Amino acid sequence: MARGTFNDLIKIMARLRGPGGCPWDRRQTHRSLLRYLREEAGEVARAVRRKDDANLCEELGDVLLQVVFHAQMASERRKFDIRDVVAGLCRKLVRRHPHVFGRKRLKTAAEVVVLWRELKRREKARRTRRGRRG
């Protein structure tokens, strides 16, 4: 079953959560998984600090598992799925890098950080205004 593609991962998670799947996986909620997400992020940080690439690869897989797990649960509630997560991330990366995907030109990493913060601030302000209307 596991050939190792991203689509395989999505199918495996759906099977684990589906009828006849894993009882532990089926019991989990977004809240119950929070501790594992925090733990895995900490393990990524440790691998980075230790410059342990093999462990970093494994721990990044564990973080990815958490992302796919949460997306699968949201999909079961018909709220969003992993494809929506990926599409939203792609849009955000392009939107926050107009110096790469648009006409704006920046020369330094410091300029990029300033622009990133400004774009993020504007996005948050737009979301806040939308929330007041709706």
> Which pLDDT tens digits describe the chain residue by residue (134 residues)?
556 999 999 999 999 999 999 999 999 999 999 999 999 999 999 999 999 999 999 999 999 999 999 999 999 999 999 999 999 999 999 999 999 999 889 999 999 999 999 999 998 888 888 776 55
Which residue, chain included where needed, has tokens 């709706």?
134
Closest by CA to 69, choosing from 34, 20, 19, 23, is 34
Residues in the chain: 134
CATH 1.10.287.1080 residue ranges for the chain? 1-80
Question: How far apart, in Å, are the Cα atoms of 75 and each of 16, 53, 82, 92, 132?
Answer: 14, 32, 8, 21, 27
Closest by CA to 120, choosing from 91, 103, 96, 87, is 96
Within a 10 A sphere around the Cβ of 68, how many other Cβ atoms? 19
Residues 96, 84: Cα–Cα separation, whole Å? 18
Which residue, chain included where needed, has tokens 């809240």?
31
CATH topology of domain 1-80: Helix Hairpins (1.10.287)
